[in-house]
Structure 1
Amino acid sequence: MKRLVQVALIRHAHAGQRSAWRGDDRLRPLSARGRRQAEGLLQTLAIVDAVRILSSDYLRCTQTVEPLAQACRLAVEDEPALVEGASLEQVLRLFGGFRAGAVACCTHGDVMALVCEELLRSGLAKRDALRFEKAGTWLLDLVGGTLTAARYLPPPAT
């Protein structure tokens, strides 16, 4: 029997301007606004009973899901398929490997754009509904590794 898996695909929260950061971009932290968004995700994602929390290893991503991980008493797992530059194939292979329950995944805008294009291609979202704001979340249902439903949750108010 194929099981339902729910993926909460989160774009990292606000981390200031890339061009203003002088160091390694992987180490760019959340801004004060981003930290408020990360805390606000607890309320946004209250409907998700996560059994795992995966993230790009970029600091801004792990910081985005740390409050959720603490609330769920879970560790944040680094996931290469969620880093900037990951391909849609990598992301879908990751999703296909989930067996049951809900998984929260934090990633970047370029990866979110790829997933949104897949939602459009598969008829699960309309072009005018495709959004992926910082700290925004797509709730994705998968059955047997296949996307079957999607809905967008806007970022928490800050």
Structure 2
Amino acid sequence: GNVIPNVYLGIMDYTGINYDYNDNIFVIEGVEPVGFGQELRIAGLDDAAADDRLVFTNIENPANAQQEFRNEAVVTIANDGFAQLNISSIVLGDTENFEIVGAVPTSIAAGGSAQITVRYIGTHSGSSAGADLHKSTLTITSDDYDEGVTVIRLAGLAQEFSENG
């Protein structure tokens, strides 16, 4: 037989009634498959605050060595599709206050995943009390079949000193 692009056969047998081979055969023409291919999914974001962002803190002079703050986050990029996902770029909007640690993936196999680490390196200007806010984006460009660009919002608060410290 010959392969005819965008032509499909739909074959249906009524189950539970008369098992007499194929009861209905449909020829479906002029359609393209939807939802087949690469499908990028992001995990590891701050789901409690919003499902499209990461929030960081950085304290230059913590009150003590046990004080915890989050200046690093691991983001998982998964491919829930049926074909290899190719990533053409992973770009930070503000490279003065945020950085990607290590190598970034260029492709992810179907059903696979890869991790990247984003680090907040913003510092306090020292010109005022409180914290300095830095905002940015992490943009992932891929050949995802329906959303080629994924944008993750980033925010970081840089403090010179600990609160009450």
TM-score for the superposition, normalised by structure 2: 0.25
If asked which structure has higher relative contact order (CA below 8 Å, sep 6+), I would say 1
TM-score for the superposition, normalised by structure 1: 0.25
Whose strand proportion is higher, 1 or 2?
2
Highest Rg: 1 or 2? Answer: 2
